[in-house]
Amino acid sequence: MVVVRELREETGLIADEAILLFHYETLVSDHAVFWVQARGTPAPRGKVDQLAYYRPGSALNLSPEAQAIIDRFYAYKAEHEQSRAR
């Protein structure tokens, strides 16, 4: 799986499980968004020069595309948590 290889190349993390959640399409890209269970200590490698953890309300400077993907992830998560509670 490409996501597993990319995760290791760019962060050093080893994926134990990867599940496709959804695709996010823009005019120039189709982003596949995965839920990944991984182990290790992340560090920037390859094309990545920095890492940060996102929490709602954090002051990270994100591209509009990245923010839209994160917003969709939180909506996806809320929808699936509600359906599990039923």
Phi/psi for 32 (5° steps) reads: -95, 125
Q: What is the CATH number of domain 2-85?
A: 3.90.79.10
In three-state secondary structure terms, 81 is helix
The full set of domain ranges for the chain reads 2-85
**Average pLDDT for the chain:** 92
Tell me the pTM: 0.82
Q: In whole angstroms, what separates CA 64 from the centre of its chain?
A: 15
The answer to which of 1-5, 20-24, 42-46, 52-56 has the lowest mean pLDDT is 52-56
Question: How big, in percent rounded to 5, are the helix, strand and coil portions of the chain?
Answer: 35, 25, 35
Which comes out higher in pLDDT, residue 83 or 75? Answer: 75
* pLDDT given for residue 82 in this prediction: 83
Mean pLDDT value of segment 17-43: 95
Reported as type and span, the H/E element at residue 36 is strand 30-39
